[in-house]
């Protein structure tokens, strides 16, 4: 077994197309130290690891985190290899982030409920006005 680890490669425009962002965006993220593609000559070569990171970044953005926050969150994934004291701190950080996510979930639930209510009011109004 060459324990393959999915050694596929991607160009910058491969990823840009797949995730519907511009190449500028990807280069910007590299500039900020959020992705670390390899180089073949001067050309960037992205591996599975980079692709995962990009996916995480974009997900973070959809959830309303800033790039700085996203950095902090993603960096946690790599910090599991620390020693005792570090790990306790890391657990604390994770707890805080999970609390944030729960708050977002409550916001999400509330927002969805309101849309559902508006739909209800619209249906009622449409029946009032005639047939649907």
Partner DNA sequence: GTTTACCTTTACGTAAACGTAAAGTATTTT
Partner DNA sequence: AAAATACTTTACGTTTACGTAAAGGTAAAC
Q: Which residues bind a second copy (CB under 8 A)?
A: 59-65, 76-77, 80-81, 83-84, 87, 90-91, 94, 97-98, 101, 103-105, 107-108, 110-112, 114-115, 118-119, 121-122, 125-126, 129-130
Least gap, CB of 43 to DNA (angstroms): 4
Secondary structure of residue 2 in the 3-state scheme: coil
Q: Which is nearer to a second copy, 48 or 110 (CB)?
A: 110
Choose among a second copy, DNA, none what residue 23 binds, the Cβ cut-off being 5 to 8 Å by kind: DNA
| Binding residues for DNA restricted to 64-103, rule: CB under 7 A | 66-68
Per-residue CA distances from 38 to 17, 46, 76 (Å)? 19, 6, 22
| Binding residues for DNA restricted to 32-61, rule: CB under 7 A | 41-44, 61
Tokens of 5: 């680890």
Choose among DNA, a second copy, none what residue 49 binds, the Cβ cut-off being 5 to 8 Å by kind: none
Q: How many CA atoms lie within 13 A of 52 on its CB side?
A: 8
Residues in the chain: 132
Considering the rule CB under 7 A, would residue 12 count as an interface residue with DNA? Answer: yes
Q: Write a three-state SS string for 82-127.
A: CCHHHHHHHHHHHHHHHHHHHHHHHHHHHHHHHHHHHHHHHHHHHH
**Sites of contact with DNA (CB under 7 A):** 11-14, 21-25, 27-28, 41-44, 61, 66-68
């Amino acid at each position: 077994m060459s324990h393959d680890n999915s050694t596929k490669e991607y160009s910058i425009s491969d990823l840009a197309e797949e995730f519907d962002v511009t190449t500028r965006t990807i280069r910007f993220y590299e500039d900020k130290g959020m992705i670390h593609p390899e180089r073949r000559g001067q050309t960037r070569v992205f591996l599975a690891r980079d692709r995962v990171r990009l996916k995480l970044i974009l997900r973070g953005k959809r959830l309303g985190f800033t790039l700085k926050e996203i950095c902090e969150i993603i960096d946690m994934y790599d910090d599991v290899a620390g020693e005792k004291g570090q790990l306790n701190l890391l657990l604390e950080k994770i707890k805080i982030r999970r609390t944030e996510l729960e708050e977002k979930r409550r916001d999400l639930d509330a927002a969805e409920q309101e849309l559902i209510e508006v739909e209800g009011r619209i249906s009622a109004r449409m029946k009032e006005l005639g047939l649907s």
